[in-house]
Structure formats: structure tokens, C-alpha cells
């Protein structure tokens, strides 16, 4: 049976946002609404922004009166597959899509928002683009995106709202009005990678140096450079880090995310700093980069994990570097009971905090 109240999808609205808004508009809990549409499918234990599979579509189309093509357009699968360049399996983390870290109905992170967009919306809603890992700011308002509740630090979990909550711009845990979040201005430099990636995703082709590359290839080059920056920041005192420094990319230990987590699991603050460096690296002529690495005797093994083949467009550059490992093989020492380094302790602490955000101690 169709619902009494129609709730249209708003421009660039994510599927989870629309489902939650629809529930609140009908005066019911999101969980009750989705339970009524799909009695045997627990949608909040998955990342529903990715897609609504075809086999689950008809009860939703019947109840909402919205054609399935609209829901497909709002789903993230199409864009994510253009970025990845291959068909994405349901169960894995998708490249460049923030991971929700779903465990039962609890999320560990992965949802961002702009307080000023919420403020200006007549009906606040979540944008699809806030789920992309290269989005760390709002280009309309020039402020940083926020990825947790400023009052209680919980991740943003709109599906935990209840009928009485009325609108989506509030914390699912402590009910803080997210529109009141104090904003931090964003520099043009911090927005540069985001703008570039957005415009490349709109086209079919990108350029790296003199070469035209496909969208997926461009994103894989960006992933490669992200790896380069992360590897160099593990050793900020090395010749490798100095070489990047001489290219105008100062490498500091603080750029290395403490947790060592995959990029798609990092908080916005850590992604932002890495992307500034990657954008800079992308804007330098490849030949200049290689020459600097050769002069500093940076080996190919220092640049990337040898088990993962580099993007094809970068192969000529990497071939010019010496492949021999920069240090002679050191013998693997068995696990010892030495005290952990400060970095290792802080890394486990950062990972623990991400888990605790999702499940605060009772
Ligand atoms: Zn905004
Ligand atoms: Zn809160």
C-alpha cells in the first residue's frame, strides 16, 4: 500500500538519508519503516547508501510511488565502480567510499555533514558526496565537514533516530542539534584535491602530465601517491622524505595516521592533511618527481608495496628508479617482549577509540 505522505528524493540525497527522512515524516521510527517494507531484510546492518539490490526494489517502489531508476541514481555503486574500474563485491570496503564499519546496527564512522548546509536546508538531509573519502570540506560554505557529534563524539547514525526526533540533523545518541556545530574554515589548498576529483568523476577522461587516463586510472594514481606520502611520513628523517620536501611537500610524522587504518576508515582531519600532499604531488611534472627521487637515491621499493602493481601510467617513472632494496635484508627478529614504541601504543589507542565511539562503555 502506498504511503499517505510522499517524500521526494532531494538533489544528491543519499539513500539512507531519504529512508530516515521518510520515516520521520510518516511519524515512525526508521527501523519500523524499513521493517514494514522489508520484513526479512535487516538493511541497517549494511551500507544501504551503496545500493538497493534489484530483488529488494519492488516493495519500496510500491510504497513510495518513486520509480526504481530514481533509487538507482541515488545509489553509490555506479560512481564507485567508475572510480574502482571493476565490479565491486558487496562485502568489502569500496575504494574511496568511507567505510561505516557496520557491526549489527552500530556504525563506527563514515558519515560526514556540513553544519551550514543543514542550517540552510528547509528539510535537512545527507548528501551522497559526503560519503566519498576525498570529501573533507563543503565547497559551498568553505568549511570542514564534521564526522562525529561535537557533544558526545558518537559517529553520525541517523538510522538510530526515532519518530519524536522529527528531523535528521541531530545526534542519534545524545540528540544534540548538529546545526549548532561550530564550523572551521577551510583553505583553498585543502579543497583543491576535492574539486579536482569531483570534476574528474564528472568526465570520462583525466590527464596526468601529458597523458590522458581513464577515471579509474586517475584515482589509482592518487591512491599510489597517498601510499607514497604515508610511507615517507613513517620516516620523516629519511632521504625519501627529504626528496618530497624538496618538491615542496613537507613530510612530518603527524601526517601518518596514528591508527594505520585504510584511507576509507580515517577521520576527515587525517584524510585532509594527506590529500593536500597528494594534490601537490599530482601537480608536479612526473619527470621532475622522478629526477628528484633519482638524485636522492630513492628506490622503487621505498615508494610502494611490491605486492601491488603500480598504475600503468606510472610504470615508466618507476622503471627509472633502482629496484634494489634500500637496506640489506635484516634478519627478522622473533616477537619480543620489549616495550612497544610510543607510536605503536598511540596507534592501538586510536583504533580502540574508534571502536569505543561505536560502543561506549555502559
Ligand atoms: Zn555546506
Ligand atoms: Zn551526540
Express each pLDDT in 308-345 by its tens digit: 889 998 988 888 887 744 443 444 444 445 556 666 66
Ligand 2 center–CA 262 separation, angstroms: 25
Q: Which ligand is nearest to the CA of 121?
A: 1
- Over residues 189-230, the pLDDT tens digits come to 999 999 999 999 999 889 887 788 999 999 999 999 999 999
pLDDT-derived band at 298, boundaries 50, 70, 90: very high
Ligand 2 center–CA 91 separation, angstroms: 29
pLDDT-derived band at 113, boundaries 50, 70, 90: very high
Q: What b/e string do you get for 276-314 counting C-beta neighbours within 10 Å, with b at 16 or more?
A: bbbbbbbeeebeebbebbeebebebebbbeeeeebbebb
Q: Which ligand is nearest to the CA of 153?
A: 2
- Over residues 247-282, the pLDDT tens digits come to 999 988 777 777 788 999 999 999 999 999 999 999
Q: Which ligand is nearest to the CA of 129?
A: 1
- pLDDT of amino acid 136: 98
**Alpha carbon distance 17, 302 (integer Å):** 43
Which of 75, 68, 69, 24 has the alpha carbon at shortest distance from 47? 75
Q: Which ligand is nearest to the CA of 139?
A: 1
Question: Of all helices (H) and strands (E), which one includes residue 206?
Answer: strand 205-208
Ligand 1 center–CA 147 separation, angstroms: 13
**238 has pLDDT over 50:** yes
Contact 13, 125 (CB under 8 A): yes
Q: Which ligand is nearest to the CA of 135?
A: 1
Which of 144, 141, 160, 143 has the alpha carbon at shortest distance from 152? 160
Task: Give me the count of residues in the chain.
Answer: 362
Higher pLDDT, 133 or 338: 133
Residue 148 pairs in a beta bridge with: 155
- 28-37, 82-91, 103-112, 260-269: least confidently modelled range: 103-112
β-strands 137-138, 143-144 pairing: antiparallel
Ligand 1 center–CA 178 separation, angstroms: 13
Ligand 1 center–CA 138 separation, angstroms: 5
Amino acid at each position: 500500500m502506498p504511503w499517505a505522505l510522499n517524500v521526494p528524493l532531494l538533489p544528491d540525497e543519499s539513500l539512507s538519508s531519504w529512508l530516515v527522512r521518510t520515516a520521520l515524516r510518516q511519524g515512525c521510527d526508521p527501523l519500523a519503516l524499513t521493517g514494514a517494507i522489508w520484513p526479512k531484510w535487516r538493511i541497517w546492518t549494511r551500507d544501504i547508501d551503496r545500493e538497493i539490490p534489484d530483488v529488494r526494489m519492488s516493495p519500496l517502489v510500491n510504497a513510495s510511488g518513486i520509480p526504481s531508476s530514481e533509487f538507482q541514481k541515488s545509489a553509490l555503486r555506479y560512481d564507485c565502480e567508475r572510480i574502482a574500474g571493476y565490479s565491486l563485491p558487496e562485502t568489502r570496503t569500496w575504494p574511496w567510499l568511507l567505510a561505516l564499519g557496520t557491526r549489527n546496527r552500530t556504525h563506527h564512522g563514515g558519515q560526514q555533514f556540513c553544519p551550514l548546509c543543514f542550517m540552510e536546508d528547509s528539510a535537512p538531509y545527507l548528501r551522497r558526496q559526503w560519503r566519498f573519502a576525498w570529501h573533507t570540506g563543503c565547497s559551498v560554505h568553505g568549511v570542514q565537514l564534521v564526522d562525529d557529534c561535537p557533544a558526545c563524539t558518537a559517529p553520525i547514525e541517523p538510522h538510530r533516530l526515532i519518530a519524536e526526533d522529527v528531523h535528521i540533523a541531530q545526534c542519534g545518541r545524545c540528540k544534540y542539534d548538529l546545526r549548532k556545530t561550530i564550523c572551521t574554515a577551510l583553505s583553498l589548498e585543502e579543497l583543491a584535491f576535492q574539486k579536482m576529483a569531483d570534476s574528474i568523476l564528472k568526465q570520462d577522461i583525466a590527464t596526468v602530465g601529458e597523458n590522458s587516463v581513464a577515471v579509474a586510472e586517475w584515482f589509482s594514481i592518487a591512491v599510489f601517491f597517498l601510499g607514497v606520502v604515508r610511507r615517507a611520513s613513517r620516516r620523516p628523517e629519511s632521504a625519501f622524505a627529504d626528496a618530497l620536501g624538496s618538491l615542496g611537500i613537507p613530510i612530518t610524522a603527524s601526517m601518518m595516521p596514528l591508527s594505520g587504518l585504510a584511507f576509507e576508515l580515517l577521520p576527515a582531519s587525517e584524510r585532509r592533511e594527506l590529500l593536500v600532499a597528494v594534490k601537490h604531488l599530482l601537480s608536479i611534472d612526473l619527470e621532475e618527481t622522478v629526477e628528484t627521487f633519482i638524485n636522492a637515491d630513492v628506490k622503487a621499493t621505498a615508494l610502494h608495496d611490491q605486492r601491488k602493481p603500480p598504475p600503468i601510467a606510472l610504470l615508466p617513472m618507476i622503471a627509472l628508479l633502482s629496484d634494489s632494496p634500500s637496506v640489506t635484508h635484516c634478519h627478522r627478529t622473533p616477537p619480543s617482549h620489549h616495550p612497544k614504541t610510543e607510536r605503536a601504543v598511540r596507534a592501538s589507542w586510536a583504533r580502540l577509540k574508534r571502536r569505543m565511539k561505536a560502543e561506549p562503555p555502559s
